[in-house]
Chains A and B, each alone.
Chain A
Amino acid sequence: MIPATVLPSQVYSLIAFLFQFLDSFGFIVLATVGLAIIFGMMGVINLAHGEFILIGVYGTALPFHAGVPLPLAMVMGVVVTVVFGVIVERTIVHRFYDRLLDSMVATWGLALIISQLLLIIFGSSLDSISTPMGNVGYGPFTSSIYRGIFLPGIALLVLAGLYVLFTRTEFGIKARATIEDPETARAMGIDTDRMYVSTFAIGSGLAGLTGALYAPALGSITPGRGSTFLIEAFVAVVVGGPSVIVGTLSASGLLSVFNATGSFFFGTFVGQMMMLVVAIVALRALPDGITGYVKQWRQRRRAEQ
């Protein structure tokens, strides 16, 4: 702990604010990224996104309570969610590509089935897992290292990893070609079916990763917790716009700045209000989201030149 006399109290408040921002930022990025991949790359609105995350939570918590060390349990949580995602893609979701409204109804039904099955099989709650890594203290305040440093760090790594995967690798180029124009892609010898499965598996894996990471930061683990992630995820996807990675990053940044500012100065209620008001204003002013606006702006500039 830094002794309280070294720095004026405003500095401590500023640090507290920074941690609150990072906490919120990490949460929104991780809640959003799986949904954004599946929606942005495949045109499927996965209303079961929250339940996919929940499978990651259960897939982590169950082995952890059985004695598996937490990091290994988290890996198991991700694997379980990927396997589940692939099964769901092959049996259900592949019938719904390009059928936007149908995909919503189907995945919503899936969400209800998953959460009810979790209730029936595992009962009304699992024991919670304490947040690891302790806290960092400064002046009168403390902040969680896991929520305030580790999770936002992972969130940035995930985004960077996705950027490399989809722009710098052969897989990424094939996947994007499949999304843009499946027929031509097939004509060029790309196995589009495999691309769809892989992309959906990545989206599911990211949902699983979010679940695994939040298993020890979620508090209670009950079959209804999937909805915890859904509001932030939907708002961020809509505000972010068509570009998956830059959209997720910019929307999460914008929303968490306002969320943290409202929470810091006025309380959690105002924080949530400000985040939603910003989302409404952003949609009114930038109907194609942040990245849609940037794209248009670039095109206009190019046309002017």
Chain B
Amino acid sequence: MSHPNVSRRSVLAAAGTGLSLSIAGCAGDGGGDGPTVGILEDRSGNFQLNGTSKWQATRLAIEEINEDGGLLGEEIEIVDPDPQSDNSRYQDLTERLILQDEVDALWAGYSSATREAIRPIINDHEQLYFYTTQYEGGVCDNTIFAVGSTARQQLGIVTPYLADEYGDDIYIIAADYNFGQLSGDWVNVLAQENDYNIVGEEYIPLEETDFSSVINRIQDEDPDFIMSMLVGANHENFYDQRATAGMEDIPIGTSTTMAQGHEHIRYDPPALTNVYAGVSYMEELGDEREGGTFVDDFYDRFEDANYLNQEAQNNYFSVYLWAEAVEEAGTFDQEAVIEVLEEGQDISAPSGELTLDGATHHMEHEMRVARADENHEISFDGQRRIEPTFLREEVEDGAGCDLTTEDRTTQYEPNDVYDV
């Protein structure tokens, strides 16, 4: 075999760096005259497992409204290209949906990294945007409504629950990026407020699949429970390795597992045994509205759907939140709709009677602790209404974030307020 000038190995080395490149592409359709809603949720790529049901639930809500006669007498058009879990594609598509399709409201993005990637574009165009994933919290932004539960709400329900039940020694493991780091900070805040001991803390790269050293370290420290904010397909491997290691008797509290990636269904018992998730919603909860048939409707419409996750429920009720505000404003004009939303809105959601806090653009959520038993059956306990207190009364030395009176495009972090 002849050897060309380019050495094989140098090409191979270059290939490694090129792997992360992705193809830019274009898809979609033009804007119409009537009201248009943009949905950017991942149906392929790294986040498709969680993104697909978000996309489905958003469509379901809008189709229900259209079947019911539309909004202000008009049918809502949907523009929903697949952003493929790719942040640069998200940026292109966000710009296109705003400028070309002139969407009246936008639902977009699974990860916090995605939200931060498109937030400058949202700010430039003052686009009404609903971010629906549970997240680290703290976004105080004029046109953004973060309707998912925050770390303070999720960790705030599950951490004290486990400490009461099992003891005060906590071992933290979390994904090594903004969401995981800030969630870890929140567990530290809760530990300071309640005198818990953090006996170990590790932030794990998203690419890691081998947890043998993590498991040995946890065994060495022997905590009363673990707080896990692991994220993504690679990290799920931890739960299987935990079962292999015979550590099901050390309970795990989490804000990320089960309610999104439905690991309790995809993994055989006992992988998720004694995992306690702080959640606002899971499919197993059903529909808290009187006579509500959310779960059945969802599977009637999308027969092949895997799971109706917590995030999808947020997409669903926030479409209705928007629709009610449009009805009240009598127009699709975004500024007018935001003004109505900022008055504060009550909304009947499958997860319960919720309230949008106008000042902070965050929700008062009904939170509960979901536990998987040794057969991965889910039970709910400790239901409590938790308000968005971090933004409302903790930031800015207690003055809070009040978007009804001032313009803001910031994100507060726990260490702005606490010493963590």
Contact = CB atoms under 8 A, between A and B. Distances in A.
Interface stretch (B7-15, B278-286, B323-331): B7-15
Nearest to B51: A124
Interface residues of B, number: 60
Contact of B11 (A100, A119, A126, A144): A100
Interface in B243-275: 243-247, 261, 263, 265-268, 271
A144 B241 contact: yes
Interface string A221-250: 011110110110011011001100000000
Contact of B212 (A116, A147, A242, A269): A147
B204 interface: yes
Contacts of B271: 128, 130
Contacts of A179: 1
B266 A142 contact: no
Given A131-B241, A269-B204, A20 B212 contact: yes
A222 B236 CA distance: 12
A208 interface: no
Given A23-B210, A220-B233, A123 B306 contact: yes
B196 to A, nearest CB: 21
Interface string A252-290: 000000001001100111011000000000010000110
Contacts of B13: 234, 238, 283
Interface stretch (A84-92, A133-141, A199-207): A133-141
Most buried by A among B1, B44, B52, B222: B1
B11 A219 contact: no
Contact of A130 (B12, B45, B267): B267
B234 interface: yes
Given A135-B246, A272-B205, A39 B12 contact: yes
A143 interface: yes
Nearest to B20: A227
A124 B306 contact: yes
A79 interface: no
A45 interface: yes
B213 A100 contact: no
Contact of B216 (A123, A141, A223): A141
A130 B240 contact: yes
Contacts of B52: 124
Contacts of B19: 47, 227, 230, 234
Interface string A43-69: 101010000000000000000000000
Given A131-B244, A179-B1, A45 B12 contact: yes
Contacts of A304: none
A12 B57 CA distance: 51
B212 A127 contact: no
A220 to B, nearest CB: 4
A20 to B, nearest CB: 5
Contacts of A144: 212, 241, 244-245
B49 interface: yes
A143 B243 CA distance: 11
A98 interface: yes
B339 interface: no
Given A101-B6, A220-B266, A271 B213 contact: yes
Interface residues of A, number: 72
A119 B48 contact: yes
Given A135-B246, A142-B219, A269-B203, A218 B209 contact: yes
B2 interface: yes
A181 interface: yes
A293 B99 CA distance: 57
Nearest to B237: A219
B1 A128 contact: no
Interface string A117-129: 0010001111111
A148 interface: yes
Nearest to A131: B244
B2 A119 contact: no
B101 to A, nearest CB: 25
Contact of A142 (B245, B267, B306): B245
A301 B227 CA distance: 58
B237 to A, nearest CB: 3
A27 B52 CA distance: 31
A59 to B, nearest CB: 19
A43 B245 contact: no
Contacts of A101: 6, 11
- Which has the most chain B C-beta neighbours within 10 Å: A39, A116, A241, A263? A263
For B8, B212, B265, B306, the residue with the greatest tally of chain A CB atoms inside 10 Å of its CB is B212
Given A45-B11, A124-B49, A269-B204, A181 B1 contact: yes
A158 interface: no
Interface of A: 13, 16, 19-20, 23-24, 27, 39, 43, 45, 47, 97-98, 100-101, 104, 112, 116, 119, 123-131, 134-135, 137, 140-144, 146-148, 179-182, 217-220, 222-225, 227-228, 230-231, 234-235, 237-238, 241-242, 260, 263-264, 267-269, 271-272, 283, 288-289
18 contacts: A13-B220, A19-B212, A20-B210, A45-B8, A45-B12, A45-B15, A47-B19, A98-B2, A104-B15, A141-B220, A217-B237, A224-B46, A260-B213, A263-B213, A267-B203, A268-B211, A271-B213, A283-B13
Given A47-B15, A143-B245, A219-B237, 10 more contacts: A16-B213, A20-B210, A124-B52, A128-B266, A134-B244, A147-B210, A219-B209, A219-B236, A231-B207, A268-B211
10 cross-chain pairs, A with B, having the tightest CB-CB distances, nearest first: A219-B237, A263-B213, A234-B16, A220-B233, A142-B245, A220-B236, A16-B216, A219-B236, A144-B244, A131-B244
